[in-house]
Amino acid sequence: MKYENYKIIVDPEYGYRRLDPMPTKEELDEFYCSKYYDLVAAGGRAPELGRLIQGGEEATAELTWLSQTLWQDILDILNELCKSETEPLWLLDMGCGTGHFAHYMQKAGWKVIGVEPAKEAAEIARSLGLTVFSSVAECCSVVNQRFNVVTLLNVLEHVPDAAALLGSLLPLIEDKSIIVVRVPNDFSAIQECAHKKMGGRPWWIAIPDHVNYFNFDSLVQFLERLNFQVVDMLGDFPMEIFLLFGDVYVGNPRVGSQCHKKRIAFELSLPPELRRNLYRCLARVGMGRDCTVFAKASLSPRK
C-alpha cells in the first residue's frame, strides 16, 4: 500500500489522528496474513515482538528488561489500584500476541485470559499455558467472568474502530474496572523536533498496520469521551532524543540496536519507584516514545 494513497486527518469525533481513507478489512487481513510477520522478523515493525520471536539471547535480554521495567510498573500500579478488590484478580489481555506479558501476570498470581486473532502468535501464547481466544465475541460466549483489568498494549493503533473495540469490552468489565492502554506517542512535540531536524517523511507512520496515531492529549481525550476516568499515566524513554543527539537510528538497524541497548541500561539502572516517578513526569509534559494510561471504567449513565 502506497504512502501517497493516504493522508493523516484528525478524527472529527474523538480528536486523535488516523488514516484517511481507512484500509478495508480485506486489505488489512491480507497484510497481516502475508506480510506483517515478515516485516516484524526483518525489524521493520514491532521491534519488541521481533526480538521475542527471534529467541535466543536477544529474546532472553528483552524479557528480562520488560519484566523488570514496563511489566513490573504495570503490575505494581495495578496491585495498588486493585488492593481493595476481592481476590483472585482477573485480567483480560487484549491482543496478547505471544503471551509473554500475560504469562508474567499469571506468574504474579493473577487469573489471566488472552484474546489474539493472529494464529501464530496465539499458538505461542497457548504453549505457555494460557487460555487464548481468537476474538472478544468468542471470549464473551465462553467466559462467565467480569474482569478487574483489561490491558490493551499496542493494540489501539491497529484497530480501524477503536471506540467500537472498547465498547465490545463492556460485557466483560464492571464499574470501576481498570483498562491499561499503551500506544506509540506519535506527533508529540519532541517527535516533531526530531522530524524538523531529520526531514523526509514522518518515519513513525506505518501503513497500513498503524491506522490510528495517538499522543497523551488525544488518548486522554478519547478515553474520557468514552466515560473512562484516567487515574495514572506513564511515559517512557523518549527515543527521539537519540535523533537529536545525531544517532540516526531511522532506517539503520545497527544504530537502532545500539540506542535500544543504551535505553535498557538506563532503565535497569534506576530503582522502580524512581523510574515510575520520572516517567510520570514525562507523561505530564507529553514525552516518551510510548503512552501508557490507566483508566477506570464508569458504567453508570452520565447525568
- Contact present, 130 and 99 (Cβ < 8 Å): yes
Q: Which of 67-76, 138-147, 263-272, 283-292 has the lowest mean pLDDT?
A: 138-147
Q: What percent of the chain has pLDDT over 70?
A: 90
Averaged pLDDT, 45-51: 64
- 79 versus 51: the higher-pLDDT residue is 79
Q: Alpha helices, DSSP H only, in 117-211?
A: 119-127, 136-142, 162-168, 189-198
Which secondary structure element, helix H or strand E, spans residue 181, and what is its range? strand 173-184
Non-local CB neighbours of 129 within 8 Å, separated by 6+ positions: 103, 106
**pLDDT of residue 66 exceeding 50:** yes
Q: How confident is the model at residue 25 (pLDDT cuts 50, 70, 90)?
A: confident
pTM exceeds cut of 0.75: yes
Please say if the pLDDT value at position 190 is more than 80. yes
What does R_g of the chain's alpha carbons equal in angstroms?
19
Banded model confidence at residue 302, pLDDT cuts 50, 70, 90: very low
Contact residues for 259 (Cβ-Cβ < 8 A; gap 6+): 239, 242, 247, 249
Task: Indicate if the pLDDT at residue 32 is higher than 90.
Answer: no
pLDDT tens, residue by residue, 127-173:
999 999 999 999 999 998 899 999 999 999 999 999 999 999 999 99
Taking alpha carbons only, the member of 105, 222, 113, 201 closest to residue 159 is 222
Task: Over range 72-99, report the average pLDDT.
Answer: 95
Of 88, 90, 97, which Cα lies nearest the Cα of 113?
Answer: 90
* CA separation for the pair 148, 231 (Å, rounded): 15
pLDDT of residue 215: 98
Cell of 214: 495517538
For residue 213, the cross-strand partners are 17
Of 23-37, 111-125, 134-148, 254-268, the poorest mean pLDDT is in 23-37
Average pLDDT, the chain: 91
Count Cβ neighbours within 10 Å for each residue of 214-232 and write b for 16 or more, e otherwise. Answer: bbbebbbebbeebebebeb
Rounded-to-integer distance, Cα 42 and Cα 51, Å: 10
Crossing angle (nearest 10°) for helices 47-54 and 56-68: 130
Q: How far is CA 113 from CA 35, 66, 108, 135, 180, in A?
A: 27, 20, 14, 12, 15
Per-residue H/E/C for 89-102: CEEEEECCCCCHHH
The one-character DSSP state at 3 is G
Q: Is it the case that residue 253 has pLDDT exceeding 70?
A: yes
The per-residue pLDDT for 303 is 42
- Residue from 80, 45, 51 nearest 65 by CA: 51
In the chain, domain spans: 3-297
User: At residue 44, does pLDDT exceed 90?
Assistant: no
> pLDDT, tens digit, for every residue of 91-131?
999 999 889 999 999 999 999 999 998 888 899 999 999 99
Q: What are the distances in angstroms from CA 270 to CA 39, 66, 187, 266?
A: 33, 14, 28, 7
Has residue 294 got a pLDDT over 70? yes
Average pLDDT over residues 41-55: 64
Architecture of domain 3-297: 3-Layer(aba) Sandwich (3.40)
